Structure 1
Amino acid sequence: MTACPAAPLQRSHGSARLSFRRAGPWTRLDRLHQAGSAKAFVHPAQTGPDVVFLNTSGGMTGGDRLCYGLALGAGCRVTATTQTAERAYRSAEGIARVEVTHSLAAGAHLDWLPQETILFDRSALHRETTVALSKDASCLLLEAVVLGRAAMGETLTALQLTDHRKVTRDGVPVLFEPLHLTTAALTAGAGVLQGARAFASLAMLGQGAQSALGPVRDALAEPGVHAGASAFDGRLMVRLMAADGWPLRRQILRLLTVLRDAPPPRVWHI
């Protein structure tokens, strides 16, 4: 008797890419491509289109791949988010990979505000986010991570997360954030997470971004959230840490109220 080989595990792959152009005073959808598990929806909003990305596979595990991308023409203004929190589940083998690539022509502005990424026990995720700015283009970028859901009693004993964010202006790097968390980080103490199980990074890049530093620091008042903000030379950076994703989310919403002249995307409503 010869044992039957194990069937290969099914993996999800998805890609959603959109481009926008300026038509008089309006930002209009120019092209839309979506394939596999990735979908994108465009909704009219107060300050320009809202793009909502959706992963129909319901989460990611080892071997899955997801790609999102936006190309904004000159003068376009777009807000983009995800339909819900992305989930990285336990990986039996391999690594889940996410690639986010945005490009902004002169005078364009993007608010990239994905909802939090929830990491489950023994998950393995590699994410690359690249934003290419031209001339006086500007952006607001958010990345939030939750290490298990406290309300569900989830505790992480092992994980692997590599998360890189890179922003360039006319090809010159203006922001580079490499993050690498392994199992050791869960018990590393004050030098790493300080017991936090939720953290976020918020960056605003553009002319005069540093002028928002005072109002941002005044808004860092959510109980249970440790936060700090700094700004210089057209860059504003905010770091947030909390014991759970719920107070972190409330603090993020406070900051979005300060940094945007529009309400948060509707899928963020709580």
Structure 2
Amino acid sequence: MTALPALSAPQTRHQRSRGEVAAAWHMADGQARLHRLRQAGSARAVALPGPELVVLNTSGGLTGGDRLSVTLDVGAGCRVTATTQTAERLYRAGEGRAQMDLAMAVGAGGHLDWLPQETILFDGCAATRTTTIDLGPDAGCLMLETLVMGRAAMGETLSRVALRDTRHITRNGRSVHLEPLLLDPARIAPHAAGLAGARAICTLVMVTSGAEDAIGPARAALTDPQVTAAASAWDGRLVVRLMAPDAWPLRRQLARLLAVLRHSPLPRVWQS
């Protein structure tokens, strides 16, 4: 009698989300107008007057193996604000890493405000995010990224996290600002070499002609007693770094800072 081969357990293939948004603007009749919008998979976008673009991830968050892509092309002379509908969430990854690729280009004399809402990290998350902004001649941008280490109101704490978050701004192919950030268990620890107990951190970068002149008003706006912040500026670039014990005081401080730097209201979804 021939022995039957042992049956192996079936391999479970988990469903992964894929999302893509691509938008472009150009000048028409003296105004910046949206002339191309593509959205696929779990990613959606809503175009508002301003012009303003709101990106949505309908999957509710990202985990290992998920992919999200955002491509923005701001034409010459256009001024555009782009943000996210709500906070992005990076959930525990059973296997693999979530991947987020954000590529933006701003034509000559244009300006982009990239103002996403917070990214909330959950214990066990693993993700790689790359944000690139390429500026044309006399173009400018205002970019911020906020990371929140779990939800304080839910009593969440992080012990395992793996995030590579790279932000790169270039002008005509030349690097203007490069910021690689790595978060792992050692770096989120509550000591001086880690986050020193902060649960929310943010970096704001403004690259435009005369950005260094904004350092005085920016520093004057950093008044929230619960937020530790510092600003520096040189050669057309302003950098502000902030950290707080929770997301709310940091958001409150950011609203005050953005009001000074933008001279215009916050994106509509920030005000809801």
Among 117, 120, 127, which residue is 1:115 paired with? 117
Aligned to 1:33: 38
Aligned to 1:212: 214
- Unmatched tracts of structure 1, length 5 or more: none
Letter in 2 for 1:21: H
Q: Pairwise mapping of residues 85-124 of structure 1 onto structure 2 (< 5 A)?
A: 85-124=87-126
Contact 2:132 2:167 (C-alpha < 8 Å) held by counterparts:
yes
Percent identity over paired residues: 56
Among 8, 11, 32, which residue is 1:6 paired with? 11
Task: Provide the rounded CA distance (Å) in 2 between the counterparts of 1:225 and 1:252.
Answer: 10
Letter in 2 for 1:236: L
Q: Pairwise mapping of residues 1-270 of structure 1 onto structure 2 (< 5 A)?
A: 2-45=7-50, 49-187=51-189, 189-269=191-271
Q: Between Structure 1 and Structure 2, whose CA radius of gyration is higher?
A: 2
Task: Provide the rounded CA distance (Å) in 1 between the counterparts of 2:267 and 2:188.
Answer: 32
Letter in 2 for 1:114: P
Per-residue deviation at 1:253?
0.5
Deviations 1:107-149 (A, max 9, x none): 0000000001000001011100000001100000000000001
RMSD: 1.0
Letter in 2 for 1:97: Q
Per-residue deviation at 1:223?
2.0
Task: Provide the rounded CA distance (Å) in 2 between the counterparts of 1:178 and 1:81.
Answer: 21
SS at match of 1:183: coil
Per-residue deviation at 1:237?
0.3
Task: Provide the rounded CA distance (Å) in 2 between the counterparts of 1:87 and 1:22.
Answer: 35
Contact 2:168 2:178 (C-alpha < 8 Å) held by counterparts:
yes
SS at match of 2:250: helix
Letter in 2 for 1:74: A
Structure 1 length-normalised TM: 0.97
Task: Provide the rounded CA distance (Å) in 1 between the counterparts of 2:146 and 2:58.
Answer: 20
- Unmatched tracts of structure 2, length 5 or more: 1-5
Task: Provide the rounded CA distance (Å) in 2 between the counterparts of 1:169 and 1:207.
Answer: 12
Per-residue deviation at 1:188?
5.9
Task: Provide the rounded CA distance (Å) in 1 between the counterparts of 2:215 and 2:189.
Answer: 32
Task: Provide the rounded CA distance (Å) in 1 between the counterparts of 2:109 and 2:147.
Answer: 30
SS at match of 1:190: coil
Task: Provide the rounded CA distance (Å) in 2 between the counterparts of 1:136 and 1:213.
Answer: 20
Task: Provide the rounded CA distance (Å) in 1 between the counterparts of 2:102 and 2:225.
Answer: 32
Task: Provide the rounded CA distance (Å) in 1 between the counterparts of 2:118 and 2:226.
Answer: 17
Per-residue deviation at 1:154?
0.5
SS at match of 1:124: strand
Task: Provide the rounded CA distance (Å) in 1 between the counterparts of 2:35 and 2:201.
Answer: 35
In the TM superposition, structure 1's runs of 4+ consecutive aligned residues that sit over 4 Å from their partners are none
Task: Provide the rounded CA distance (Å) in 2 between the counterparts of 1:228 and 1:136.
Answer: 27
Contact 2:190 2:198 (C-alpha < 8 Å) held by counterparts:
no
Per-residue deviation at 1:161?
0.7
SS at match of 2:188: helix
SS at match of 2:230: strand
Task: Provide the rounded CA distance (Å) in 1 between the counterparts of 2:116 and 2:40.
Answer: 20
Alignment length (residue pairs): 267
Task: Provide the rounded CA distance (Å) in 1 between the counterparts of 2:229 and 2:48.
Answer: 32
